[in-house]
Structure 1
């Protein structure tokens, strides 16, 4: 996690002020050492996918144009960090929402899996900032602070929220590179979350094959244009029968450390409804369906930049967690006075360009009657010219880092 500290903020690393309070540390301390030898990867993936889909449905329900991008992983981590210092009732609600195990050591392994694979390199740029911004004079619980810092869950900073709200808003906007038309600073804290992704494909798309092409709605009506990046190559493709969806896997970075999964619904007239019924078994099914084609197939995806700002507080309230924002008893073990975050703002930006680490393979003309080795429902190409879903996954744990729905073309009619 890379944190940009703006001029008037100080990192809350030392707590030496004598103040008349005490923290109830029960339930806020993960015992060490945690010697959990059980392989928790499958349960971790299943629990994460369950949260991913619940939160996806909440985001989609509030998206008018069905065009958004966000990081379910980053939001999961921030909520988990708050739960580590919440009272027992709030803690249980958040853990149930996140599908986080109650066993301290197993939960710590979840945190390690969730945070250990986002590494900055020359070919992969994932810049993530997860911040609890406390008003000046609000002091974090040292035990809780130690947990969230050791597990790389979030950072804690101070700012003059109440003393100088106007300057605070401007500095938050600079930090988040966000417009923030409605940021609420009525409480003594805010939650700030940003994720930016820009990386090199493992194999680039050829510059000569970028074409301005029509983009349609799900009914086939033209709604604008996108710049399609085309390549003809053997690719990993699949057909998820439960969703009647075509899926494509494209590797990202050196050694294919990440992958972007594209999902299209050629048999559906309503993408929102088609994916809205998905459960975590369907995500496992999608990964299991991938096969590398016997012969080169045509792949074309839009070159795009998509960015979104989400009011996560509203989304979390939709999912039943209310006490974090207005109940001082719920957060008394996070800080003194108890943190009362009035806003939880999330801004994500994802860039898809044609640049890659390796040159594209030579284009081959493949007759349409040559078997591809794929499910017959798939066909011979993957042309993204209508609404689609896509997500960035870590290749080792298959954690969903960024999720997106795209239905608004770059160039509108």
Structure 2
């Protein structure tokens, strides 16, 4: 059995492709040496990504029965890599879907921001793998590959998809750390994506403050039980009147370079409506609304492990990306023969527990009448004992690395 080998194609075929093969591919690329990316494009990049994130969020969470975790950040990068090599018509459609600018140098600046959000460390463990796996008989365009490799958009790999699909499926399972029973290997390539998170809070939840507690639906009915982690601490909170949702931020890591944002509705506001009504303004309004509390707030969130296997091909078809899987003209500038990915899958996992780098220092008791410094409707607590959303963010750019909807206590 041939063994799947991840290789940099610039080594194995970049200098081996013949002149005749080179003529097959289009030079639709840009020379990054002439880009001057000294300007700060963080806001433009973040806006571009969030337009796409919200489209994904609505489609994935509804299909996932409002109980799912996924990485919009990683998907955005993969689709950008595809767009950079797609035929002109499809390329423009994908650029519009991603809200990417036409100017190549600005896109490159966006890619540099996107691919530098995850920093390996001992206190925050985030593993992200993005691979386009091609059949052994496919030759990848060195021009396209050079672009995606230099911008760290994805890796390219070869496998005997056609000659040994069973062996290839086993190797994919090893790479993804998950088995996809319905993985389609009928095409000449597949897109693979993983994102795993396990990190330490900047301030830990005490072991003694974990209790088994009911988890409720929006009608107030107990539908299960979760391990609730409790702490009293000063936090940043905000409120959105239109969504009737309050937001809380908790820092992650030694230098607080990551943040978790939690959102829970009040007054029994319909959770599904919140998910489907989210827009770009809501995101930025919620972030801007965060204010530090002047007194410790009662915080309670479930301890959990969430893992989701998502058929991204179906999700992309929801977003009107249909020709990529069936029309050779779409990817004729990416490979020869043209890449026709039969699967696009993402496995995402997230661990929330009470461990942290330090414990909250006890604070003197304050009178209940002491002002919190927050919108009065927020009250003096954040209790996630009913459907809620949360996500992992990079603190510098507010890139959403992982997004989660939790409505059923099935992972505890």
State the 1:212 CA deviation: 0.7
In structure 1, what is the equivalent of residue 12 of structure 2?
Answer: 14
- Structure 1 position 52 matched with structure 2 position 50: no
Gaps of 5+ in 1: 1-5
Residue 17 of structure 1, CA deviation: 4.4
How many residues in Structure 1 have an aligned counterpart in Structure 2? 406
2:40 equivalent to 1:42 = no
Q: Which residue of 1 aligns with 2:373?
A: 373
* 1: CA distance, partners of 2:32 / 2:239: 44
Shift of residue 60 of structure 1?
2.3
Structure 2: runs of 5 or more not aligned: none
After TM superposition, the structure 1 stretch with the greater mean CA deviation from structure 2, 353-362 or 99-108, is 353-362
Give me the whole-angstrom Cα distance separating, in 2, the residues matched to 1:168 and 1:93: 32
Would you tell me which structure has more helix in proportion to its own residues?
Answer: 2
TM-score calculated relative to the size of structure 2: 0.95
Distance in 2, matches of 1:363 and 1:298, equals 13
By how many angstroms is 1:206 displaced?
A: 0.5
Residues 234 and 293 of structure 2 are in contact (CA less than 8 Å); yes or no, is this contact kept in structure 1? yes
Q: Deviations over 1:372-401 (max 9, x none)?
A: 110011001001100000011000011111
The alpha-carbon deviation at position 44 of structure 1 amounts to 1.2
Deviation at 1:315, TM superposition (A): 0.7
Q: In the alignment, is residue 232 of structure 1 matched against residue 232 of structure 2?
A: yes
Partner deviation per Cα, 1:341-381 (whole Å, 9 max, x = no partner): 00000000000111111122226654433211100110010
- Distance of aligned partners of 1:224 and 1:367 in 2 relative to their CA distance in 1, 3 Å threshold: farther
SS at match of 2:377: coil
Check the 8 A contact 1:60/1:272 in 2, yes or no.
no
Counterpart CA distance in 2 for 1:281 and 1:7 is 48
Cα distance in 2 for partners of 1:61, 1:410 equals 17
What's the CA shift for 1:123? 0.6
Instruction: Call closer, same or farther: CA 1:365–1:385 in 2, change over 3 Å.
Output: farther
> In structure 2, how many angstroms separate the alpha carbons of the residues matched to 1:55 and 1:30?
31
Q: Which stretch has the larger CA shift, 275-284 or 81-90?
A: 275-284
Describe the SS at the equivalent of 2:324.
helix
Quote the residue 1:338 is aligned against.
338
Q: Map 1:147-296; keep pairs closer than 5 Å.
A: 147-296=147-296
Where does residue 394 of structure 1 map in the other structure? Answer: 394
CA distance in 1, matches of 2:199, 2:109: 27
Q: 2:380 and 2:340 mapped to 1: Cα distance?
A: 54
SS in 1 for 2:238: strand
Q: CA deviation at 1:111?
A: 0.3
Please give the alpha-carbon distance, in whole angstroms, between the structure 2 residues aligned to 1:128 and 1:31: 25
Contact 1:243/1:275 (8 A) holds in 2: no
